Homo-oligomer: A and B are copies of this chain.
């Protein structure tokens, strides 16, 4: 066990932190709320190899581990990135694993095309609430028969949502751009979902930690009844609980990402655990930070509401934590039975 990031990982985090500090200020996040997408941030991410890094060397990528991507996702979450980095990385890896056409993979790696992935099976010919679908070019969907790559241009309807995410309902009536059948394609798709959960857990951790920092800063300076409000137990003890949960979520989400190579047998369970636990920790941090800000927290002008809304919304795109826990519990019992 070594919980310190490697030298390369520290460099990676520092490089992306610099990028996000410049290209994802809260002013930029606000400016992008109408579409949920900041083209300037996306260009910068693509230019920095944000998608390419996720691909293996054989596909012209830089072969980053899922743990490397998780550390970047923490930075993404911390800065509320208005760009589908996680979706693009996960679907690029999936397409490559499925054996997608090399030119398409190359376009995706370079950020010239954006892919995304439908997290839930489609019903009645529609994939609902697909993340990033308003800004992506195509989506990977798993239906009863196969994994299909479906073009998005004329197939999407925007979904107005709490978190200002570029979600869309996607009609699947046009012919797919490509299909991938067989058991292995299904397994690859399941792996992609695990990767999405692990990376989203990391993004939620970054988001939650920043929300907590906002609360701590505010509670340290704001005075009431002759003392900083952070000196009152009613405030301080809540924040201590949030900090503890976020530390736990940090460890768990990093462990989940590490496990994809380090402990494959547990990777899927750990991804689900990390997703559900980080979702709850981020939600609590968002709600308590908002609350600690008093009336200011309720003003759109203050930043904390940006975190509050995304803490709930980024996770809800896939599932509430309760259902994920239920799935974990059922799997554990099935293994024992």
Contacts and interface: CB of A to CB of B under 8 A. Distances in A.
Residues of A contacting B: mostly: helix
Contacts of A233: 232-234, 237
Contacts of A237: 233-234
Contacts of A234: 233-234, 237
Interface in A184-237: 232-234, 237
A240 B237 CA distance: 16
Interface in A1-57: none
Interface in A236-252: 237
Nearest to A234: B233
A232 B233 CA distance: 7
A232 B232 CA distance: 9
Nearest to A232: B233
A243 to B, nearest CB: 16
Nearest to A235: B233
A113 to B, nearest CB: 46
A81 B237 CA distance: 38
A72 to B, nearest CB: 38
A232 B235 CA distance: 12
A1 to B, nearest CB: 34
A114 B234 CA distance: 50
A237 B237 CA distance: 12
A234 B232 CA distance: 9
A237 B234 CA distance: 7
A233 B232 CA distance: 7
A230 to B, nearest CB: 12
Nearest to A237: B234
A233 B234 CA distance: 6
A234 B233 CA distance: 6
Contacts of A232: 233
A138 B237 CA distance: 52
A233 B237 CA distance: 9
A233 B233 CA distance: 6
A237 B233 CA distance: 9
A234 B237 CA distance: 7
A232 B237 CA distance: 11
A326 to B, nearest CB: 14
A142 B214 CA distance: 59
A258 to B, nearest CB: 36
Interface in A258-306: none
6 contacts: A232-B233, A233-B233, A233-B234, A233-B237, A234-B234, A234-B237
Interface of A: 232-234, 237
Give 6 nearest A-B pairs by CB, closest first: A233-B233, A233-B234, A234-B237, A232-B233, A234-B234, A233-B237
